[in-house]
Amino acid sequence: MKGHNNLLDRLVERMDLLDPSSVQSYLLRMTREKGFLEAIFDTIQEGIIVVDRALSVHYLNTAARQLLGIQENATNQRIDRYLREVEWGPLLDADPKQWERISRQEIEVFYPTHRYLSFYVVPISPGVKSETVPLATLIIRDVTQMHVDTEKTIESQKVEAITMLAAGVAHELGNPLNSLNIHLQLLVRCLDRIGAPSAPAPKPRATRGRKTKGAGTQAPPATTDSVADARELLDVAKQEVARLDAIVHHFLRAVRPVPPQMQPVDLSKLLGEVLAFMRAEIENRKIAVEASWPDALPTVAGDRDQLRQAFYNLIRNAVQAMASGGRLDILCNEDSNFVNLRFQDTGQGIAPENLSRILEPYFTTHAEGTGLGLLIVNRIVRTHGGELLIESVPGEGAAFTIRLPLRERQVRLLEAAKSAQEASIPLDAESRDTGG
C-alpha cells in the first residue's frame, strides 16, 4: 500500500512532464497493483472493513461480506447498518489511539446466520492521506465454533458430574435393596411355616382355684385367608424391590465408563446382523426399512459389542416412535475424517422443547422403555471418538446420525486419550450396556 501511494505521488508530481503513453503505463501498473492487493485481502479468512470516523465504509473484503451477509456495494454506506449490535457511540467519542484497547469484543449476530463474531479496531497510520481520511480498520473473526466447542465441553462436564453423582447414589441404593430382598424372602418362609398344617395343640389342663398363666391373652391362630393376604402383599413388595433393583442396575450400566475393546469392525455387516435380529418386531409393526451403504464402506476401529448395542438402541428407538407403521431409512457414507450412519424415521418427531433433554437419563416420550437407550448410545459413540447428531421436524420424524472416525484418525485420538483413560477408575469394569 505504501509503494502504491509513493507511485501515485510521483505520478502527480511529474504529470506535466509525462507523455500520454507514460501516464497510461503508470495507470495500468497501479490498476494491476490494486487488483493484486484486493486479491490478497480476499483470500484472508478474517473480515476486513475500513471505515472513517463517520462510520462510512471505504473498503471491505470478501470475508466481511460473507460474515455480515452484504450482497450490495457497501462503499460509502454506514457500518452500523450491518453491525447494529456494536455500541458505536463510546467508540466514536474515544481517542482513536485508544480504539484498539477499548474495542476488542465479541458480539452475537443473527443475519445471515446465527454467529458469534470477535472484532477489534486498529487505527490507520496518520501517514495515509486521501481527501476523506479513513480512520480505522475493523478486523472481524468468526468464533462460532469456539463457542460451540466451549458449550459442548461445559455441557459434557455437567452431564458427567451429574451422572457420576447419580451413579454413586445408585450404587449405595444397591445394598439396602439387597437387604430388603433377603428379608422379604425370610418373611415368605415365616408365612410358609405359619400356614403349614400341624397337629392340634393340647388343651391346657384346668386347675382348681386359679387361672392358667396366660389364659385368655393368646392371639388367635392365623387363618388361611390372612396368610394368603400377607403372601399377596409380600409378592407386591418383592416385585417393586425387583423393579427398583433393575432400574439401579440398568442405570449403572449406562453411566459407568467401560473402555471399548478396539478391533476392526465391518459396519455394513454389523448393521445387517442387528436388522436381522429385529426383523420380527419391525415386520410386526408394519415398518418398511430401506438400508443403503456403499460396497466399499471402510471398516472402523471399535468395540463390536458396544457398537451393536448402539445400533440396536437407535433402531429400537425409531421402531417405538412409529407405533402405527412407517419408514426407517438407514444411510451410510464417509467423508474425509468420518463414517456417517444416519437413522431417519417417519414418526412424530421430537418437540423443540425436548431436544435439549433427549439425552438425559430416564427422559423418554415413549410408553415403553427406561429412557436410558439414547444416553447409552451417546456414551458409546463418545468413547469411540465420535459424535451423535440429532435432528427433528415435529410431525415428520427424527434423524440420529452417528459419526465415527476413520481408523487412522481414531488411532490418534485413542493414543492421545490413553493416559486419561488409564487414570480413570470405573466403578464396575465388568458391566455391559443395555438397551431401553
**Which residues are paired to 301 by β-bridges?**
264
Query: Is CATH 1.10.287 what the domain over 148-194+223-255 is classified as, yes or no?
Result: yes
Higher pLDDT, 46 or 293: 46
Q: In angstroms, rounded to a whole number, what is the distance separating the alpha carbons of residues 143 and 288? A: 43
| Dihedral of the alpha carbons of 421, 267, 359, 255, in degrees to the nearest 10 | -40
Higher pLDDT, 410 or 54: 54
| Dihedral of the alpha carbons of 86, 91, 93, 99, in degrees to the nearest 10 | 180
First-residue to last-residue Cα distance in the chain:
66
Does the pLDDT at position 419 exceed 50? no
Does the pLDDT at position 72 exceed 80? no
Q: Which CATH number fits domain 46-142: 3.30.450.20, 2.40.160.40, 3.40.50.300, 2.10.60.10?
A: 3.30.450.20
Q: Which three cell numbers stand for residue 145?
A: 465454533
When mean pLDDT is compared across 245-254, 379-388, 396-405, the lowest value belongs to 245-254
Does the pLDDT at position 223 exceed 70? no
The pLDDT, as a whole number, for residue 291 is: 86
Residue 13 pLDDT grade (very low, low, confident, very high; cuts 50, 70, 90): low
The pLDDT, as a whole number, for residue 167 is: 67
Does the pLDDT at position 402 exceed 90? yes
Mean of pLDDT values over 236-253: 77
For the ranges 106-120, 263-277, 290-304, the one whose mean pLDDT is highest: 263-277
Average pLDDT, the chain: 76
The pLDDT, as a whole number, for residue 401 is: 94
pTM of the predicted protein model: 0.47
For the chain, give the percent of residues with pLDDT over 90. Answer: 11
Q: In angstroms, rounded to a whole number, what is the distance separating the alpha carbons of residues 163 and 376? A: 12
Mean of pLDDT values over 17-30: 76
Check if the beta carbon of residue 241 is closer than 8 Å to that of residue 184. Answer: yes
Q: In angstroms, rounded to a whole number, what is the distance separating the alpha carbons of residues 263 and 270? A: 13
The pLDDT, as a whole number, for residue 85 is: 74
The pLDDT, as a whole number, for residue 310 is: 92
Residue with cell 450482497: 71
Listing DSSP states for 37-72 in one string gives HHHHHHH-SSEEEEE-TT-BEEEE-HHHHHHHT--S
The pLDDT, as a whole number, for residue 134 is: 53
> Which of 311, 326, 312 lies closest to 395 in space, CA to CA?
326
Residue 433 pLDDT grade (very low, low, confident, very high; cuts 50, 70, 90): very low
Q: Which three cell numbers stand for residue 311?
A: 445400533
Residue 79 pLDDT grade (very low, low, confident, very high; cuts 50, 70, 90): confident
Higher pLDDT, 280 or 355: 280
Higher pLDDT, 273 or 3: 273
Mean of pLDDT values over 319-338: 87
Q: In angstroms, rounded to a whole number, what is the distance separating the alpha carbons of residues 169 and 165? A: 6
Mean of pLDDT values over 69-93: 78
Mean of pLDDT values over 69-84: 82
Residue 403 pLDDT grade (very low, low, confident, very high; cuts 50, 70, 90): very high
> b/e per residue, 365-394, with b = 16+ CB within 10 A?
bbeebbbbbbbbbbbbbebbbbebeeebee
The pLDDT, as a whole number, for residue 424 is: 40
- CA distances 417 to 49, 183, 327, 383, Å, are 42, 46, 39, 10
Q: In angstroms, rounded to a whole number, what is the distance separating the alpha carbons of residues 385 and 403? A: 9
The pLDDT, as a whole number, for residue 342 is: 93
Higher pLDDT, 91 or 387: 387
Query: Is CATH 3.30.565.10 what the domain over 263-423 is classified as, yes or no?
Result: yes
Residue 200 pLDDT grade (very low, low, confident, very high; cuts 50, 70, 90): low
Residue with cell 463457542: 147
Q: In angstroms, rounded to a whole number, what is the distance separating the alpha carbons of residues 368 and 371? A: 9
Q: Which three cell numbers stand for residue 167?
A: 451413579
Does the pLDDT at position 81 exceed 90? no
**Dihedral pair phi/psi, residue 372, rounded to 5°:** -110, -10
Q: In angstroms, rounded to a whole number, what is the distance separating the alpha carbons of residues 402 and 312? A: 13
Does the pLDDT at position 137 exceed 80? yes
> Which of 79, 82, 100, 78 lies closest to 91 in space, CA to CA?
100
For the ranges 64-73, 282-291, 408-417, the one whose mean pLDDT is highest: 282-291
The pLDDT, as a whole number, for residue 288 is: 92
Check if the beta carbon of residue 59 is closer than 8 Å to that of residue 138. Answer: no
Helix axes 304-321, 373-383, angle to 10 degrees: 150
